[in-house]
Amino acid sequence: MSCSEEAPGYSQFGLFGQSFSLMQLLRLAWALTAAAACFLILLILHNHILREGQLLAGTCEIVTLDRDSSQPRRTIARQTARCACKKGQIAGTTRARPACVDLGIVWTRQWCEMAPCLDDEGCGLLVNQSGWTCTQPGGRVKTTTVS
């Protein structure tokens, strides 16, 4: 059999100046199908893990919120947040919500740099830098201490 002849039962296909046998094309199709199936399985597993209680990087959620109004004209609120912060960040507060903030803010205890108050409130550091106050336009003051 010469080089130009075709073996019985094998077909040649041309693609971009190359010739492929039917067997080579079937192997390529099988490999691409397997790769696509693996990708789909990984995507499904990733979504399942995120749904089962994992947070996306850089996000927070409130886990518990307790309010104590037993004292007149005073409400004590305690909240616990769970955060999945990126490298160089730590759980903090931005606009009265839990958020990931730069680690340097916590180290230097310059709490107002993380913008913990609402937009219409003014932020002030406590004298001992253990927290901050948010002063509303009407004069009401909310004090937050870090524990």
Q: What is the pLDDT of residue 8?
A: 53
Identity (one letter) of the amino acid at 64? T
pLDDT at 79 over 60: yes
The 10s digit of each residue's pLDDT in 21-78 is 777 778 888 888 888 888 888 877 766 665 556 777 788 888 888 888 888 777 777 7
Sign of CA dihedral 26, 30, 31, 35: positive
Q: What is the pLDDT of residue 12?
A: 57
pLDDT at 94 over 50: yes
Question: What's the CA angle centered on 117, arms 121 and 141, to 5 degrees?
Answer: 60
Q: What is the pLDDT of residue 135?
A: 92
Mean pLDDT of 101-128: 91
pLDDT at 124 over 90: yes
pLDDT at 4 over 60: no
pLDDT at 91 over 70: yes
* Helix, strand, coil percent content, the chain, rounded in steps of 5: 25, 35, 35
Mean pLDDT of 7-19: 56
Give the Å distances, CA to CA, from 28 to 11, 69, 104.
Answer: 16, 70, 53
Q: What is the pLDDT of residue 2?
A: 47
Give me the helices (H) in 52-145, please.
103-108
pLDDT at 10 over 60: no
